[in-house]
Structure 1
């Protein structure tokens, strides 16, 4: 099959292969990536439940209580929480009703897993736009990705991994921010990185364009430049919010244009910046910051030199890993960097400001949202305006689209000119949208599903002119119905949203000193635990342990086991027992330390680890370091310690008894359920 032809299933699946997808596979791939899959009797995430329950308890605070009183409250929550969890697990074992209810879903998931195991030449991923699912050949994907990273104008292949070097530079910059008082010691400690990983690049297929074209995406969380880039973004954000032409969202945009009129000799246009992020060069940003410093310094705490130094680092850390090789982005703000949006918005605002000074006519309306611009211009100036904008900077180039029959989409609004020059707006859904949102049957709490309904209805009502509201609501109702939302639920939410808009009610959650804590959503369990914490300051935020996207292909370069950090691990001994440990370091560094502790000259060392103590106790106890296994990945220090203690209790270990002394005995029955998961 050519790359221009696809077996399209509705508008939710694009199959760019000759392979026919079984109906069971289609049913799974039609679901949203974040569709929550229910837990079953055999995959109850007991360790996660215990960790997150303790995380919730740890968040409970009450300034009116003494330390002893707060401890009593927490102990009470722990006892009641464990009782709820234990009863839930016992009930699930006695009852198979949930299994029957989800029988078809579970069956289809198994078929889908087996199908893609048998067809290793296929990749399944999400599309670049439209929220669709793409199936394509792995060979075709790798060919296109190699073409992309092989573009020598944009990327340069480098021989060495610069991660360690950039990590050291990042930590020095963070120390500087602490020394000059911009960050306190705690903030600095949280920002420093010790086990950074190289950013990973992958591609998403552009289903809205012909041929096989991929949009590059760089995952940079945990990379050397991530924390600095995030700090730069937050530092620049107040200035970005003040920019004259920038709008923050559709509602802000509507507020800016709703009272405007358009003369009949004017026309609506949209401008789109081509490859904005890779074409905003550091030299341009430095120039803007220096020229506009009097304005910028009103919004940032940093001095000009320090800000430029941080931005320089954001550009210097623009590298990534693909297929085991490292590439440096020659110019432009690093893809995947948290600083890129703010930097790009500043650059676009500069281009707009400079272009307007070169025009010999007035533009009554011009607004920008990142790389998209909306403007009203004289009809006879349409051809010339693009030349003026593209003349500001040779690297920042734009394309232009003119209204069609008096209509032009911008963001998720369709703007229409009336005969008397008013701008009539309505909620807009892009033609290539799959119409796939959080499904009502997904394993999510009802409150989140109701939030989806209210959110869409709120947008339809607030973004639409009074004459277009009914039409927009009908579109939303069709969208929700296609995702299995009952009409009764939609109608009830419509009344609530209408009433809130009529009374100008925006939110009732302000000024509440809540502390939020994650907890897995397990039907029948999580709502009860949520109720348990209802009268505390801690509010549970539910997430799914298992999702449809877990079935998708891993497009990013795999992080090797030895390069993982923030984890709990086990190392087998030749006697059949295990040593369980936890570390924030990369696993290879921790294993290296264990090997050194087992060297003969270390036998007389005091305060040996349990692993070394067991190794030296008598001949024949040799640890098989090459067979080290990761039991759990957990970045949070408190939860990681807890996970380590759980696994020590659940396994035949050589660890000291003191290693588990901080684990409450109230979890003993639950830990018995963990033992089946870690049988050697």
Structure 2
């Protein structure tokens, strides 16, 4: 999709003033204040503990940025609006309320996974003249009225209150706030979502599940027949109905609420795609299945030549083989093998490996090894995948720390190759970052970290500078106690005062970031150790393990060699 087409589609979608309204200013501070007031109220009423209150309280919220996800399988490729809420003020509060509702929902319609559904549907025998039909809600999340959510919470309160001490009025007040606090920024303009729930809000899929469950309970009682079964996966429904009742079924579903409207898909030659299967109705009204891939799918997954650990590629292939094998009850083994060979070959898996995995597919079920020590609690961590080095670290930790479980992640992702469609967050508004400030008068630099917004941390550095300037204007010098105490505040101030240098705050650069604040101190130490001319105190790196110190030393030597090589090439060419 061309950038101009994407922009036009986004603007056209946001021009729907029944769902979105432009607002004159960023409401983040207001929502953050309300969110923190709720956390404080819950704590004061002894409904949550202090640790939970701290988790629900936020001080560094950032306005979310919307982007459109193309629906490539739909005509004209419409966009699905996604608003990532991780930085929004009410994100953790939405997760907190959502978890309470989720623990209270035990819908008989929900599908756990494809394998469970496959076992169920293959055990079904439909009545004579019944066919399969799938129903799909048109834009479910943005179609859910807030009043309907409130009504569902009230009607389901007997189940919900089992999982919380919060009273009904306060619970509804919090839930409504989490829905109302749906806002975002696009193309330098702030918008408020005035109807429906935002995709990207952790509460949205849960209230959608709640609403759909109540909808199905109500609608099934209004039908003039009793469906043998109704199964639901998010907003996709599967049910069996008499072929003559299609119009009645669609009308009944669409009459439940004017905003929640359904489209349907019938069998075609007794075949109907649903989830990642094709359902095939037999002459005896029993149902069999085949593994299914959408026509628009490229068939590409983890390529055998990709930059990933070998065991991840093998496990991916095993999982794919298992899906084709278990979800294709209508196919013979030879047909399953043909599909597997075709797809794995497309992703460059060698033929001997394909044959071996197919022949041993009954052994390919991945199971976790149970520890002999039942009291041993595992700690799960991920590390970047670097050939040889990551494997050695993994092996060392397994031998020395039995409770550590490592996963390797790729530091090069597909997302890095694609155009960024979200509005960028200005550097000064970013938090949980490692930053570097250069000195104006020498080659030195200062490496720091902050969990607050970068502009707040830089403002702190400027405050120390302002205090220093005032003391100098009053006639104090570097040896006086007033300036000496200021010198001990940070390594930046120590260098500035002892050398009479100034740092260039306008040239501040973010050199790393991490979503988990507790990881920042370690990352900062590594950057300090790997940064030449750093003026940070020696004590900042004393706690760095010798293993990491050796790795950083190696990386620094590699960087030196590259720099020297480039200098030599430049000297030769000039």
Q: TM-score w.r.t. structure 2 length? A: 0.87
Are 2:340 and 1:476 aligned? Answer: yes
CA deviations on 1:442-482 (whole Å, 9 max, x unpaired) are: 11112211211121222222223265565344323311221
Matched-pair contact (CA < 8 Å) for 1:230–1:338: yes
Are 2:247 and 1:350 aligned? Answer: no
Are 2:525 and 1:660 aligned? Answer: no
Please list, as runs of the form range in 1=range in 2, the aligned pairs for 1:109-258 lying within 5 A after superposition: 136-180=1-45, 183-211=48-76, 213-240=78-105, 242-258=106-122
Q: Look up the match of 1:321.
A: 185
Q: Look up the match of 1:47.
A: none
Distance 1:210 1:272, change over 3 A: closer
CA deviations on 1:539-582 (whole Å, 9 max, x unpaired) are: 21100111233121111111111111111212222221222221
Correspondent of 1:338 among 202, 205, 211: 202
- Helix, strand or coil for the counterpart of 1:533? helix
Distance 1:300 1:480, change over 3 A: farther
Correspondent of 1:290 among 154, 171, 183: 154
Matched-pair contact (CA < 8 Å) for 1:319–1:328: yes
- Helix, strand or coil for the counterpart of 2:171? helix
Matched-pair contact (CA < 8 Å) for 2:180–2:194: no
Deviates more, 1:293-302 or 1:529-538: 293-302
Are 2:426 and 1:560 aligned? Answer: yes
Are 2:498 and 1:633 aligned? Answer: no
CA deviations on 1:581-602 (whole Å, 9 max, x unpaired) are: 2111111111111111111236
Matched-pair contact (CA < 8 Å) for 1:426–1:469: no
Distance 1:676 1:617, change over 3 A: farther
**Structure 2: distance between partners of 1:665 and 1:450:** 34
Matched-pair contact (CA < 8 Å) for 1:226–1:337: yes
Correspondent of 1:488 among 352, 357, 362: 352
Cα offset, 1:176, TM superposition? 3.9
Deviates more, 1:208-217 or 1:419-428: 208-217
- Helix, strand or coil for the counterpart of 1:336? coil
Matched-pair contact (CA < 8 Å) for 1:279–1:332: yes
- Helix, strand or coil for the counterpart of 1:275? coil
**Structure 2: distance between partners of 1:410 and 1:470:** 24
Are 2:442 and 1:442 aligned? Answer: no
Correspondent of 1:569 among 398, 417, 435: 435
**Structure 2: distance between partners of 1:300 and 1:434:** 46
Stretches of structure 2 lacking an aligned partner (at least 5 in a row) = 473-481, 564-574
Are 2:496 and 1:615 aligned? Answer: yes
Distance 1:259 1:548, change over 3 A: closer
CA deviations on 1:255-304 (whole Å, 9 max, x unpaired) are: 43332211231111110011100011111011011112223334556443
Matched-pair contact (CA < 8 Å) for 1:274–1:396: yes
Q: Look up the match of 1:364.
A: 228
**Structure 1: distance between partners of 2:406 and 2:368:** 19
Matched-pair contact (CA < 8 Å) for 1:500–1:506: no
Cα offset, 1:148, TM superposition? 1.6
- Helix, strand or coil for the counterpart of 1:200? coil
**Structure 2: distance between partners of 1:406 and 1:558:** 49
Matched-pair contact (CA < 8 Å) for 2:132–2:266: yes
Correspondent of 1:518 among 382, 387, 400: 382
Q: Look up the match of 2:296.
A: 432
Matched-pair contact (CA < 8 Å) for 1:521–1:544: yes
Matched-pair contact (CA < 8 Å) for 2:290–2:330: no
**Structure 2: distance between partners of 1:184 and 1:540:** 31
**Structure 1: distance between partners of 2:494 and 2:226:** 81
Q: Look up the match of 2:526.
A: 646
Q: Look up the match of 2:362.
A: 498
- Root-mean-square deviation over aligned CA pairs: 2.5
Equivalent pairs counted in the alignment come to 539
**Structure 2: distance between partners of 1:661 and 1:169:** 42
Matched-pair contact (CA < 8 Å) for 1:317–1:334: no
- Helix, strand or coil for the counterpart of 1:581? strand
**Structure 2: distance between partners of 1:595 and 1:568:** 18
Are 2:460 and 1:596 aligned? Answer: no
**Structure 2: distance between partners of 1:195 and 1:602:** 32
Q: Look up the match of 1:585.
A: 452
Please list, as runs of the form range in 1=range in 2, the aligned pairs for 1:57-136 lying within 5 A after superposition: 136=1
Matched-pair contact (CA < 8 Å) for 1:318–1:329: yes
Matched-pair contact (CA < 8 Å) for 2:124–2:286: yes
Matched-pair contact (CA < 8 Å) for 2:110–2:233: yes
- Helix, strand or coil for the counterpart of 1:582? strand
Higher relative contact order (CA 8 A, sep 6+): 1
Q: Look up the match of 2:137.
A: 273
Cα offset, 1:513, TM superposition? 3.0
Cα offset, 1:363, TM superposition? 1.0
Matched-pair contact (CA < 8 Å) for 2:318–2:364: no
Q: TM-score w.r.t. structure 1 length? A: 0.74
Distance 1:305 1:451, change over 3 A: farther
**Structure 2: distance between partners of 1:553 and 1:638:** 31
Deviates more, 1:205-214 or 1:153-162: 205-214
**Structure 1: distance between partners of 2:356 and 2:166:** 50
Stretches of structure 1 lacking an aligned partner (at least 5 in a row) = 1-135
**Structure 2: distance between partners of 1:420 and 1:161:** 62
Distance 1:677 1:316, change over 3 A: farther
**Structure 2: distance between partners of 1:282 and 1:392:** 15
**Structure 2: distance between partners of 1:646 and 1:522:** 17
Are 2:176 and 1:312 aligned? Answer: yes
Cα offset, 1:398, TM superposition? 0.5
**Structure 2: distance between partners of 1:500 and 1:631:** 42
Cα offset, 1:360, TM superposition? 1.8
